């Protein structure tokens, strides 16, 4: 504080006298100096990738599925809220774990269908391809989002050529 005031006083005095000002920083005494905490490292915010999405059949509404487990229902606290009298408060569960995507009915009154199959509570339906899902009278389409490649892509040999195999060890 004293250094800053001295610097201001020196500049004002120099301006009045007409001489250039020279300011030199003098550290405060050790008892009054404060050590600033090191700046926190800022982590970039990366968008969460959706593993799936629900789309109304008319395409007017879509929900990105990003959490490992999502509850779909008419309750305001559901992860995906569908306001329809045939949709129960907690109607169905969509989950993604270890690369497996499944849909499960949560004991809804009007039922859940996936690819035309009636789902039952405690019996998850494994999703292997995009599928139509009916929650009561509401028809949705489940589509895959970003999924990690389970098998690395391979390149086919050029047309007319056979892939070369490596000879076994010790073979001549």
No. of helices (H) and no. of strands (E), the chain: 1, 11
Report pLDDT for 118: 96
Report pLDDT for 50: 85
The ranges of the chain with pLDDT < 50 are 5-7, 9-10, 12-17, 21-26, 33, 45-46, 149, 151-152
Report pLDDT for 101: 93
Report pLDDT for 169: 62
- Decide if 143 contacts 52 (C-beta within 8 A): yes
CA gap 50, 78 in Å, rounded: 17
pLDDT digits 0-9 by tens, 117-159: 999 998 999 999 999 999 999 999 999 887 554 544 555 556 6
CA gap 23, 44 in Å, rounded: 39
Report pLDDT for 125: 95
Report pLDDT for 106: 97
Torsion angle, alpha carbons of 131, 134, 135, 140, to 10: 60
């Amino acid at each position: 504080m004293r250094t800053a005031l001295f610097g201001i006083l020196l500049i004002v005095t120099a301006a009045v006298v007409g001489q250039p000002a020279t300011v030199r920083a003098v550290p405060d005494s050790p008892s009054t100096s404060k050590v600033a905490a090191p700046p926190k490292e800022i982590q970039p915010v990366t968008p969460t990738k959706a593993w799936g999405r629900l789309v109304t059949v008319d395409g007017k509404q879509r929900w990105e599925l990003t959490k490992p487990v999502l509850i779909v229902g008419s309750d305001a606290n559901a992860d995906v809220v569908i306001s329809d009298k045939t949709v129960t408060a907690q109607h169905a569960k969509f989950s993604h774990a270890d690369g497996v995507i499944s849909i499960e009915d949560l004991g809804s009154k009007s039922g859940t269908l996936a690819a035309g199959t009636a789902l039952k509570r405690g019996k998850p339906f494994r999703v292997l391809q995009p599928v139509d899902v009916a929650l009561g009278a509401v028809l949705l389409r489940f589509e895959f989002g970003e999924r990690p490649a389970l098998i690395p892509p391979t390149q086919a040999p050029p047309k007319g050529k056979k892939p070369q195999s490596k000879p076994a060890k010790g073979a001549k």
